[in-house]
């Protein structure tokens, strides 16, 4: 049945169709973008002047709205003077796909304009370093605290109400404070990512740990486990795969704080690169840099997903309750046969 | 209709002699006047009260009763996972205060640790008791061989069928050499065929291992097939209705299902658990008649 029907309600599609649709999900926006870029009559609201003609305020390589161009064209024709020439273009902020594709390469090879400016790979490296330290520092405190909160009501009552409150304070609001305390370099940026990640992390992991099947804990108790060993040998391993998934999601959130963090103090990293390129009106580089963030984030997640199957062999056959593979397991590579 | 178990002392002197011998054995577990109430001051609900029971060494006890009679709460208290509001549970004469490895437990749901291989699951209790890895490994392997799953020692629980999981759970509980094995409807989630098989496995294991079993079930036939003594509980409030010494001789087999002992036992259990209503009628749904379609059907 499922093989014949593309739109079977909640029915899994055959592998080939799944792949095809995945491809389409990326292809569709690219096709739309290509159409707008390459098909002249679809949008192209501007005209790029190639010959000034007898219009004084036109200059070569100038982009003017089509209406203005048409008006001047009519005027010159009526007056019998030399008409201006030009072709229709999109605004500068919408470069064509091939320009952005080229920028993926040229952005790396173009020397920075100013002597002290970082290269693109240095900017990216800086951003990744900022994320890394913010996330690692947050996890070093947040994960153990989350596990304690999930395991013991004592810590849960002691910590969570305040964290619950603090989590509503937007991390960027601490920007000025962080700069005052930690200076203008990387310190405040890492602090912003820490603040943005930490409070969510404790609550999310605390919740995950609380969801451990109590029957597993009771079974361990009847086998002689108690107190700390119960946490170490049962609660942590029982929740570790879910904690791992939480961490992947939290890492994604950390990326969203990156741009805000990099504006704090001296602008740095990929945000600085994007800003400079926009200032130079190199929008192809801007798009390439934004996409690079997406690519780095997404591929990190895929690598972590694959690493998960290596680390947690008992989860290799993960299926959701409905018998459908979970979202993450579908992104994972095939399990390695034992 | 007055159903009674025929006096097996005459039917089968061998069975009578067996119960006489069981009574001579030392008491392993003693439940004394146990009572459990839920709720605070004003509105208390009694789960059960006045439950007393002595379980002798190597005895197989089944507790049976309708849902709501408190049988699960009872054994959770014996296991130390719940606290009684009155009375005491004594194991070898010492009061039970919390869960411990001297009372092995097999749960109705699957409680194998999914992150451990089958062997590591069985090793868990051994390691908790401080055995070194090599000893624990070889002992775990022996227990797995005993439940017939030696070949699966490196498998993960999710690769096993429901019946196999419960056999590993039994091996895991027995590996701790508990004084008593507590089983809370361990086969209720299995299909009928696997359940029969598991019951037979359990009897074989019980024969080989020096262990006393306290088994909860709501299945009359399961109780009749497995138990030495059957504790029949009633609901509202939970209480012991009757102790029955199972007249069906051992070794048990499917061939006994039509014997007089088996049938009369089953009839008595039916009577205790599904007592006829006062009018003599079975419980009927107050049904509104909608059509005449079913009129010619009896």
Q: Is the dihedral of CA A191, A196, A199, A204 positive or negative?
A: negative
Percent of chain A residues topping a pLDDT of 90: 57
Q: Where are the domains of chain A?
A: 46-89, 107-331
Q: What is the pLDDT at residue B231?
A: 93
Instruction: Sort out which chain A residues have CB atoms less than 8 A from B131's CB and list them.
Output: none
At residue B291, what are phi and psi to the nearest 5 degrees? -140, 175
A230 → chain B, closest CA residue: B128
- Rounded to the nearest 5 percent, the helix, strand and coil shares of chain B are 40, 20, 40
Say which CATH architecture domain A107-331 belongs to. Answer: Orthogonal Bundle (1.10)
Instruction: Pick the more confident residue, B32 or B18.
Output: B32
Contact A312 B80 (CB under 8 A): no
Tokens of A136: 């690692």
Task: Lowest mean pLDDT of A89-93, A140-144, A296-300, B263-267, name the range.
Answer: B263-267
Kindly report, residue by residue over A76-133, the tens digit of the pLDDT: 989 888 888 888 899 988 999 999 999 988 888 888 888 888 888 899 999 999 999 9
Judge whether residue A71 has pLDDT over 70: yes
Nearest Cα residue in chain B from A236: B115
Is the distance from CB of B76 to CB of B82 less than 8 angstroms? yes
Q: How many CB atoms lie within 10 A of CB B95?
A: 10
Mean pLDDT of chain B: 88
What are the pLDDT digits (tens) for A295-307? 999 999 999 999 9
**Which stretch of A283-287, B40-44, B179-183 has the lowest confidence by average pLDDT?**
B40-44
With CA atoms as reference, the chain A residue closest to B116 would be A314
Report the interhelical angle of A283-311 vs A236-263 (nearest 10°): 170
Query: Minimal Cα–Cα distance from B138 to chain A, Å?
Result: 18
Residue B221 has pLDDT above 60, yes or no: yes
Q: Which of B82, B103, B105, B115 to mutate to test the interface with A (most CBs of A within 10 A)?
A: B115
Predicted confidence at residue A317, as pLDDT, reads 61
Q: pLDDT by residue (tens digit) across A194-237?
A: 999 999 999 999 999 999 999 999 999 999 998 889 999 999 99
Cβ–Cβ pairs < 8 A, chains A and B = 70
> What does each C-alpha distance from A194 to A124, A245, A249, A260, B135 come to in angstroms?
19, 19, 15, 12, 46
Q: Is the pLDDT of residue B241 over 60?
A: yes
Q: Is the ipTM of this complex over 0.85?
A: yes
C-alpha B214/C-alpha B230 separation (Å) is 10
More confident residue, A321 or A22: A22
Best probe of the A interface among B102, B114, B168, by most A CBs < 10 A, is: B114
Asked if A121 has any chain B CB less than 8 Å from its own CB, the reply is no
Nearest to B229 by CA among B59, B104, B86: B59
pLDDT band at B91 (very low <50, low <70, confident <90, very high): very high
Lowest mean pLDDT, pick from B46-50, B61-65, B205-209, B273-277: B273-277
Q: With CB atoms and an 8 Å threshold, state whether B105 touches A219.
A: yes
């Amino acid at each position: 049945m499922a093989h014949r029907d593309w739109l079977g309600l909640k029915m899994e599609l055959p592998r080939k169709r799944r792949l095809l649709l995945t491809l389409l999900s990326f292809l569709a926006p690219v096709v739309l973008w290509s159409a707008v870029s390459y098909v002249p009559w679809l949008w192209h609201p501007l005209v790029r002047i190639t010959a000034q003609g007898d219009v004084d305020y036109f200059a070569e390589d100038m982009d003017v709205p089509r209406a203005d161009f048409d008006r001047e064209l009519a005027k010159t024709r009526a007056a019998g003077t030399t008409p201006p020439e030009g072709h229709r273009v999109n605004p500068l902020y919408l470069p064509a796909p091939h320009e952005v594709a080229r920028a993926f390469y040229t952005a790396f090879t173009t020397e920075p304009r100013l002597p002290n400016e970082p290269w693109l790979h240095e900017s990216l490296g800086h951003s990744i370093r900022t994320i890394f330290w913010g996330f690692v520092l947050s996890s070093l405190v947040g994960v153990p605290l989350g596990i304690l909160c999930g395991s013991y009501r004592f810590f849960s009552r002691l910590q969570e109400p305040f964290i619950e409150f603090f989590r509503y304070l937007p991390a960027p609001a601490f920007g000025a404070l962080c700069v005052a305390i930690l200076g203008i370099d990387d310190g405040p940026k890492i602090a912003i990512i820490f603040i943005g990640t930490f409070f969510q992390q404790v609550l999310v992991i605390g919740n995950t740990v609380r969801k451990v099947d109590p029957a597993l804990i009771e079974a361990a108790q009847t086998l002689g486990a108690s107190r700390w060993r119960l946490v170490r040998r049962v609660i942590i391993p029982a929740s570790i795969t879910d904690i791992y998934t939480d961490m992947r999601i939290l890492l994604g959130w950390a990326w969203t704080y990156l741009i805000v963090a990099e504006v704090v103090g001296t602008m740095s990293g990929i945000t600085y690169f994007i800003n400079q390129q926009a200032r130079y009106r190199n929008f192809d580089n801007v798009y390439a840099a934004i996409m690079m963030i997406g690519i780095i984030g997404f591929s990190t997640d895929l690598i972590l997903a694959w690493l998960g199957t290596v680390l947690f062999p008992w989860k290799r056959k993960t299926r959701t309750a409905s018998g459908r593979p979970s979202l993450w397991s579908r992104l994972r590579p095939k399990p390695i046969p034992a | 209709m007055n159903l009674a178990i025929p006096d097996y002392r005459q039917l089968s002197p061998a069975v009578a002699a067996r119960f006489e011998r069981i009574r001579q054995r030392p008491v392993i577990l003693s439940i004394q006047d146990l009572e459990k109430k839920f709720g605070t001051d004003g509105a208390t609900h009694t789960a059960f009260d006045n439950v007393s029971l002595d379980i002798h060494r190597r005895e197989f006890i089944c507790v049976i009763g309708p849902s709501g009679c408190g049988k699960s709460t009872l054994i959770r208290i014996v296991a130390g996972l719940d606290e009684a509001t009155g009375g005491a549970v004594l194991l070898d004469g010492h009061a039970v205060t919390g869960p411990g490895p001297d009372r092995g437990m097999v749960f109705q749901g699957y409680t194998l640790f999914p992150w451990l291989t089958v062997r590591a699951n069985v090793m868990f209790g051994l390691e908790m008791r401080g055995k070194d890895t090599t000893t624990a490994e070889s002992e775990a392997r022996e227990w797995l061989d005993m439940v017939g799953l030696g070949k699966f020692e490196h498998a993960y629980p999710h690769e096993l069928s429901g019946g196999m999981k419960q056999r590993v759970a039994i091996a895991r509980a027995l590996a701790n050499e508990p004084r008593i094995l507590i089983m809370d409807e361990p086969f209720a989630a299995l299909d009928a065929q696997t359940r029969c098989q598991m019951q037979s496995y359990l009897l074989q294991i019980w024969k080989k291992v020096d262990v006393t079993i306290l088994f909860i079930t709501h299945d009359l036939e399961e109780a009749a097939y497995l138990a030495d003594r059957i504790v029949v509980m009633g609901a509202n409030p939970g209480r012991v209705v009757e102790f029955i010494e199972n007249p069906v001789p051992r070794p048990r087999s499917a061939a006994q299902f039509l014997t007089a002992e088996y049938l009369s036992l089953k009839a008595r259990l039916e009577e205790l658990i599904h007592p006829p209503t006062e009018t003599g009628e079975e419980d009927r749904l107050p049904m509104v008649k909608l059509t005449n379609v079913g009129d010619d059907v009896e």
